[in-house]
Amino acid sequence: MGLCPFARRSRELGRVHRPIYVAGERAAHDEPDPVEVAEALAALVRRHRDAEIVLLTFPTPASHAWMDPPRFETFLTALREAWDACPPPRQFYMVSFHPKAVLPRDRALTADSLVSLIRRSPDPVIQCVDAEVLDRVRRQAQASARQRMLADLQAKDPALAALFERSINPDPELSSEIARTNFEAHGQGDGRARLERVLADIHEARDRAYGVAD
């Protein structure tokens, strides 16, 4: 659905990896050790030097504490600290995805809050994106934003656009650029309805595979 500007390319090049860590394998509150996960991530990156995205996936029973998003965020914080202490073979940006990362019903959907809906993954996931890849995409987003700004200014005041063409240097956050694009495509109307259907289908398939009762 075009939700991510770099995931498709990385996947098609075979540079996406998805290690699986089953939470609660022995008891309802068992959690993988963040130091062990960080060390395993480092080993994976050394084996696959072209890895760009690593999706640490944690199949989690419904009774597990990690089904509460803040508890899973606590693990993410510990994992970041463990990764920084490795020392890591390279820099990764880490963010969490979660089955219950949904938009509260009493809030209007915005470009920023749509991100929570998009991050509603079937299982808790920590997305690790190579910093160099993300920085490259950020530079592309900055160039795109510059062209849009100059085009808008050109339509309003060509003389002013010519005067400031070499001095305008917008520097938007990449996340804001992605959020804006996704909101235009999927934030309302038929686009949002389709996104909601796809997410519902994915979660229904997950429940069937895990034998989860309605």
Q: Is residue 35 part of a domain?
A: yes
Q: What is the pLDDT of residues 70-93, one digit of tens each?
A: 999 999 999 999 999 987 778 888
Does the structure show a pLDDT above 60 at 144? no
Q: Is residue 19 part of a domain?
A: yes
The first and second tokens of residue 168, run together, are 């305008």
The strand pairing partners of 93, in sequence order, are 129
Global pTM value: 0.74
Q: Is residue 45 part of a domain?
A: yes
Q: Is residue 174 part of a domain?
A: no
Does the structure show a pLDDT above 50 at 131? yes
Contact in structure between 29 and 64 (CB atoms under 8 Å): yes
Q: For residue 38, what pLDDT is reported?
A: 94
Q: For residue 57, what pLDDT is reported?
A: 96
Q: Is residue 163 part of a domain?
A: no
Q: Is residue 118 part of a domain?
A: yes
Q: Which domain holds residue 118?
A: 7-131
> H or E stretch including 130?
strand 125-130
Does the structure show a pLDDT above 90 at 96? yes
Q: What is the pLDDT of residues 14-37, one digit of tens each?
A: 999 999 998 776 555 678 899 999
Radius of gyration of the CA atoms of the chain, in A: 20
Name the residue with higher pLDDT: 135 or 200.
Answer: 200
Q: Is residue 32 part of a domain?
A: yes
DSSP sequence for 139-188: HHHHHHHHHHHHHHHHHH-HHHHHHHTTT------HHHHHHHHHHHHHSS
User: How many domains are contained in the chain?
Assistant: 1
Span 197-213, average pLDDT: 86
Q: Is residue 90 part of a domain?
A: yes
Q: What is the pLDDT of residues 33-44, one digit of tens each?
A: 999 999 999 999
